[in-house]
Structures are given as C-alpha cells and as structure tokens.
Amino acid sequence: MGSPETADIVRRLQADDPAALEEAYRLFGQRCNAIAHSVLHDDHQAADAVQDAFLSLWQHRHGLIVRSAGLSPWLFVVTRNAALGILRKQTTRENREQLTGVMEASSEMDPALAIVGQAQASELRDALARLPEEQQNVLELAYFRFLTLAQIAVRTNTPLGTVKRRAQRGLQQLHSLMGKQSL
C-alpha cells in the first residue's frame, strides 16, 4: 500500500478525517498536476483535473481500491482519467484529430518522451518493444495517443473484444517487464 506515511493517510481518510485529504494533496498534488498537464497542456484545466481527482479520493475513501492500490497509483490514474475526461469533453472531433496529429508529430520519434522523462522513457520503450506487436500498438494508441479502446477498434479495424484482451494482456506483461527491469 505504499509508505507508512501514505498508509496512515489512507487509514485517516477512511476514518473521515478531512485533514488527511489535505495532507495527500500536499504530498501528491504537484505530481498529479504534472500528470494532468501532460495531457491537457493548460494550467487551469490541469488544476481542474487535480481538483476532480482529490474530490474523487474523498468520495471513494471507503472504497476497496484505495486500500489495495495505495494512494499514489490510485491518485495518478484517477487524475489522468479526469484529465482525459476534460480533454474528451471539450475537444471537438476535428480538434481531436488535430491534437492527435500534433501528438503524433511531436512524439513521432518516441511517444514515451511526451509523457515521462528521458530515463523512464528508455525503460518504457525497451519494455514495450518486447511485447507482441499488436499489444504494443494498442497500448501506444491508448496510453500515448489518448484513444479509447472503442476508437482503437475502429481505427485498427479490429473487434472491440480483441482490442480489450490485447490491452489487458499487454498491460499485465508490461508491468511484469517493468518490474523486472527495475529490480
């Protein structure tokens, strides 16, 4: 569940202690902001996504996931989802195409660089390269190009169920590879 400090915050959140939320915000707010900003490229929208994520943490403080995933994985994933929700809500189809085009052009050489730093990008790239090509494609389109699995299914002309299974296996395998590399 993470460090004793974050475990304590989770315990206090579950005991309905609002000060624990503030502490979580102090510990993780700026990193959540970096994640949201990497998706939205806008300070105010990123701040909105961070706010959504922390509000969601408070609303889900009694849920099982916060306890089993730990604070930072939960917050980072939920922040990213909140940012993607904002992006998808306000981006028209044309804009999205443009945005995807920009993403593709700006990170053609290494999409991982658009999201993480140089050192992690190299590690991530190595791990992705070891996945079967179809799993690699799905993860890249989902994670780096911000497409939904339904959009990936259309774009790759593949049944949605197949895309879901590729995402599932790809992510599991990637986790195991990244875990081994970091040992």
Partner 1 sequence: MMTHPYEDIEAYALGSLDQQQAQRVLEHADGCPTCAVLMADAMAAVHSMMGSQPERPLPAAGMMQRMLRPQLFHSTASAYSRAPGIPLLSWSVAAASLAACFALLFSNAQLRSNAQQVPIALLVHSHFTHHELRGGTGNAKVIQATDGRWLYVVADGLMPRTFYTLSESAGGRSRVVGNFLSTNSGTATAYWEQSPARIDGLVIAPVQNTGKNGTLRWP
The CB-of-80 to partner 1 minimum distance in angstroms stands at 5
The CB-of-35 to partner 1 minimum distance in angstroms stands at 6
Q: Does 70 bind partner 1 (CB under 8 A)?
A: yes
> What binding mask, one character per residue, do residues 26-65 give for partner 1 by CB under 8 A, x or -?
---xxx-xxx-x-----xx-xx--xx--xx--xxx-xxxx
CB atoms within 10 A of CB 156: 16
Smallest Cα–Cα separation from 7: which of 18, 23, 30?
A: 23
Using left for φ > 0, alpha for ψ between -120 and 50, and beta otherwise, residue 41 falls in: left
Q: Using an 8 Å Cβ cutoff, are 85 and 21 in contact?
A: no
Out of 69, 111, 131, 137, point to the residue binding partner 1 (CB under 8 A): 69
- Of the candidate spans 4-12, 95-103, 169-177, the one that interacts with partner 1 by CB under 8 A turns out to be 169-177
Q: Using an 8 Å Cβ cutoff, are 78 and 61 in contact?
A: no
The CB-of-111 to partner 1 minimum distance in angstroms stands at 11
Q: Does 106 bind partner 1 (CB under 8 A)?
A: no
Q: Does 84 bind partner 1 (CB under 8 A)?
A: yes
Nearer to partner 1, 106 or 172 (CB): 172
Considering CB under 8 A, how many residues would be counted as binding partner 1?
73
- Of the candidate spans 6-14, 96-104, 163-171, the one that interacts with partner 1 by CB under 8 A turns out to be 163-171
- The DSSP annotation for 76-121 comes to HHHHHHHHHHHHHHH--HHHHHHHHHHHHHHTSS-GGGGTS-HHHH
Number of H helices, E strands in the chain: 10, 0
CB atoms within 10 A of CB 69: 18
The CB-of-129 to partner 1 minimum distance in angstroms stands at 14
Q: Does 165 bind partner 1 (CB under 8 A)?
A: yes
Residue 181 host element (H or E):
helix 160-182
Q: Does 6 bind partner 1 (CB under 8 A)?
A: no
Q: By CB under 8 A, what part of segment 132-151 binds partner 1?
A: 139, 142-143, 146-150
